[in-house]
Structure 1
């Protein structure tokens, strides 16, 4: 069994097929297929089901995958440890983020880390909160900016970046604009403007509506809270946004939602067991320092 075979196997799984894996590895596809077949012969079981249009893991493949990942991580960690002693950090880091977290300076964070450690390959994935949390837990992501309500997700360590109440944002002149607060039930018949399903802020709204027996009337969805605010400022509905988003807009009135109060947290999350290697540790230290300046707490 060779490390190359394990790397090819993991890449095929991650890329969803032999063609994309070969492109990722910069090798010919027949070479990837041959190495994985050799691995399967050594293990005595097929690891991949090739019968359909998409390559799928067999039961044996699912059992082998975490060990293959662990072996590659260990080798990469050993290599990085030696290179770190010589003053040159190498390796790879995978970060995830919600689309709505762009204003937190994600691009600057990645650029400044690359400037410090040009030998580390950094990748960025945008997705919904649930997918990102699963990615951090299973090792596909080293860290992610996620949103959630209540306590921190199980199995993860977090650093809070934003901790805010959600408000109903409307343009001046709207019937809600002069109110001090608005009960969630009072929004049942209003056209709401919200993040799409899967986002942490949307999950908080959906869970609260379910608990109150309300079916929200979502008229517009967008992945950026700034876009939600723009739509509300044009009178297209009530935007459910973080308090700071409405507070920074002269063309919006942010009305606190009560009964219940809706509160969300945006945090940097990573595995509670710690980073997978020196490169990931360096990135996590850099990210935690960079994001510390964005901290906003609910009042």
Structure 2
């Protein structure tokens, strides 16, 4: 039995599919499947039920999960003890980020961390907030910049980095372009342009619309907020975006404040509530929290 087999097994369990697990552990799907089959042969029992649309645990797999997690945690603790004994900070930090967090200055934060700790390898993964949250909770990522949904993600600690209004963005010749305020209920009749499902802003929009008694009509979606603003400028609908994306307004668009209720978008640095599992991740988290703390609207 190999540790990587246990790690792949838990990745599939947490992701619910071999494809997503392979992406998280950065191994081709056939390699993940092969290692798990070897693990199952060693146990003499299937650990995963592959018969449905999603992968589910068998009874034997359910029994194995807590021991697999404990085994990997013990190895991480042993590595940490050795690193602390030698006083050498080394290892690997896995960081995630959403597409639209470029203005936070993450490249500079990473560069400064590398200058301080050149023996630490840092990897960066880009994904939606929902997927990043799952990866941090599962331990395949040490920390991530995510868009916060309406309710705090369970199992994670967060440090708020940005907090700003969400606005409606329309073309300059749109019928609503002369308005300064737009009630949320008025979005019921508008084709909307939005970030994809799984993002914090989309979650907040859908939750607010549901509370108002309707489902938003999404005409276009994309992960790049600046592309969404361009789609709105082309008259394809009303885009719901953070105010900073259209401050100052690009040519051809008109931002309108959304009220009753006002919506806000928040970005946060997120990590497991139980804390980092290795010294390198702990050092990076301290470094990132200090670097991001000085941003307007950020809180611990």
- The match for 1:208 is 208
In 2, the alpha carbon distance for the partners of 1:157 and 1:23 equals 25
* Equivalence map 1:236-247=2 (5 Å): 236-247=236-247
* Equivalence map 1:1-299=2 (5 Å): 5-11=2-8, 13-14=10-11, 16=18, 24=27, 36=39, 39-40=42-43, 45-48=45-48, 57-251=57-251, 252-296=253-297
Structure with bigger gyration radius: 1
Aligned residues: 287
Shift of 1:138: 2.9
Deviations, residues 103-159 of structure 1 (Å, cap 9, x unaligned) = 433344344434433333333333332232232223232212222244533332111
Q: Is the 8 A contact 1:196 1:221 kept in 2?
A: yes
TM-score normalised by L of structure 2: 0.79
In 2, the alpha carbon distance for the partners of 1:39 and 1:109 equals 44
Classify the secondary structure of the residue corresponding to 2:246: helix
Classify the secondary structure of the residue corresponding to 2:100: helix
In 2, the alpha carbon distance for the partners of 1:55 and 1:191 equals 36
Shift of 1:221: 0.8
Q: Could you say what the CA RMSD is over the residues aligned between the two structures, in angstroms?
A: 3.5
Classify the secondary structure of the residue corresponding to 2:202: helix
Change (3 A) 1:234 1:293: farther
Shift of 1:57: 4.6
Q: Is the 8 A contact 2:170 2:233 kept in 1?
A: yes
TM-score normalised by L of structure 1: 0.79
In 1, the alpha carbon distance for the partners of 2:214 and 2:49 equals 44
Classify the secondary structure of the residue corresponding to 1:100: coil
In 2, the alpha carbon distance for the partners of 1:258 and 1:34 equals 54
Where does structure 2 lack aligned partners over 5 or more consecutive residues?
13-17
Shift of 1:266: 1.1
Moved more, 249-258 or 110-119: 110-119
